[in-house]
Amino acid sequence: MANPNIRSTLAAQRRFFQSGATRDLRFRIKMLESLSTSIRRMELKINDALYRDFHKPPFETYVTEIGLVVKEIRNVVRRLPRWSRPERVPTPVVHFPARSFIYREPYGTVLIVSPWNYPLLLSLSPLIGAIAAGNTVMLKIAPAAAHTARLLADLVGSVFPKEYVAVFQGHRDVNRALLKERYDYLFFTGGEKVGRYVMQAAARHLTPLTLELGGKCPVMVHRDADLRHAARRIAWGKFMNGGQTCVAPDYLLAHQDIAARVLEHLSAAIRSFYGERPQTSNDYCRIVSDHHFLRLKRLLASGKIHSGGQNDRKERFIAPTLLTDVSFDDPVMQEEIFGPILPVITYRDVDQVIGWVRSRPEPLAFYLFTQDNAVKNRLWRELAFGGGCLNDTVMQLANPHLAFGGVGRSGLGRYHGRAGYETFTYAKSLFDKSTRIDLPFRYPPYTHRALSLVKKFLR
């Protein structure tokens, strides 16, 4: 049965969009700036909510949530006037005199379904693109990070009227009710299983969509890599937010000649970051729920624990863990880990790595540590993945000028910066023909001379 609140809100948003208010450039910029102001004003409350949900330290909250969102708004506001201008494109001489333009137009009313792992960033980043483009938005927030979800609903509600941006909370029943309705665009961030359901729902109404999914993101450390830097950057990208990051390194491929040293450097980096007892560290996060804690604890049985493995269900704590003697058939290699467990697998040569990665679903990210340009160029050319880094991890997300998204089973579509603006708009093409000249050869009755002229111009 349809949810009457969803139906009435959707109808109000369609009316508001049809009023033309969201198309006004100054209005869009003003609303984005108001959102930025509210985020900065509520920084302490955001810190508190994320600490309650994840034990997340203020530094991580700022660099992975607040700072990225504020930076994204600043980038969009600065460039939106240029992005919004009609783009003039070439017109073939056969059409003289005429001009051709491409206009970017908002879709209308958009549904954004966001995940729990970075609740502020992954709700507001697509929202920024949708607002910048001139849409109205139905925003569904994941309930797992409960404190942040409530705060986010208050934050968005304080900036936007419901006929412009409406927030919905709840579990699967709310998701199902929302997805029964027709939208002009659909944006989903989450797992592959739910992504399939969202795509089926979109197909019923032929609704265009973006899917930001996950996948097992490999990190490869070649034998010529700077191992100390590699270990610190891998440990940081893997274990921040308790490993609950869609682009975190999911498993490590270490060249057999340096694998033992990689493990030593990784263990040292973990101790340097979180001390001998990570459970007492103020800088180490917790798992979001009992369900995910138990799922991760089962994965600890794969392979052999090289370091870490300690866990405490009461605190939903799992220590940063390195696994060795892991095979691709083990449970930990059959699903996206989404937690602080890093399997380490050794390889002989680049051909073996290419074979392994190609035989599995395309990853959302791929990370490579090497100084060898030939190795880099070959892997960049021969492997399919959404994005990645050379000699670093996760930092591709920190550049608002890099489009973010997956490929194949890791996702469909791109956003961030201009890519986000273009995701939530469609290209409307316009051909502007002058009436000063009207060449007669285009009209019947057609002649051999007219055909010759057309062939000359269109050759």
Please identify every residue annotated as catalytic: 212, 246
**Of 26, 37, 111, whose CA–CA distance to 69 is shortest?**
37
* CB 140 within 8 Å of CB 112: yes
Q: CA-to-CA distance for 337 and 343, rounded, in angstroms?
A: 10
Q: Which of 239, 241, 253 is nearest to 117 (CA)?
A: 241
DSSP state of 391: S
Distance of alpha carbon 355 from alpha carbon 362, whole angstroms: 12
DSSP symbols for 267-312: HHHHHHHH-S-GGG-TT----S-HHHHHHHHHHTTSSEEEE---EE
CA–CA gap between residue 360 and residue 350 (Å, rounded): 16
Closest CA to 156 of 67, 21, 31: 31
Structure tokens that stand for 154 in this block? 């208050």
Burial class for 69, CB neighbours closer than 10 Å (0-12, 13-18, 19+): buried
Q: Where does residue 120 rank: exposed (0-12), middle (13-18), buried (19+ CB within 10 A)?
A: buried
Query: Using CA atoms, how far apart are residues 250 and 260, in angstroms rounded to an integer?
Result: 19
User: Residues for the chain: how many in total?
Assistant: 459
User: Which amino acid belongs to residue 84?
Assistant: S
